[in-house]
Homo-oligomer: A and B are copies of this chain.
Amino acid sequence: MIAQTPATPYYAVIFTSLRTEGDNGYNDMAVEMARLAAEQDGFLGVESARDELGITVSYWETLEAIKNWKANTRHLLAQQKGRAEWYTHYKVRICKVERDYEF
């Protein structure tokens, strides 16, 4: 569940969100987006947790891979529905992972 990422540098997208009440089709789309993201060129892994706040961090080889995923047709629909139905607020941060270590 902790993503097995390659040697740095690589890229991370930190997606932090607050959900609306109720499911409204969210879980089905989340499963689809996780599957679809994993099929994209340059995808390296994903980590996700939610209690009050939701945090999903996806890891990518390049900024180009992140840009392509953002522009994916099915993902664009999910983003639109996210703003219309699923999230009251979210923030996306595009990062370069410069160093990592683990235990």
Of B48, B87, B100, B101, which is within 8 A of A103 by CB?
B87
Count of interface residues, chain A, beta-carbon cutoff 8 Å: 37
In contact, A97 and B95 (Cβ under 8 angstroms): yes
**Integer count of this chain's copies in the complex:** 2
Select from chain B the residue with minimum beta-carbon distance to A47. Answer: B16
Q: Interface code A18-38, partner B: CB below 8 Å = 1, 0 otherwise?
A: 100000000000000000000
List of B residues within 8 angstroms of A53 by Cβ: 1-2, 47-49
A1-60 CB contacts (< 8 Å) to partner B: 1-3, 5, 12, 14, 16-18, 47-55, 57
Q: How far is the CA of A70 from the CA of B94 in the complex (A)?
A: 23
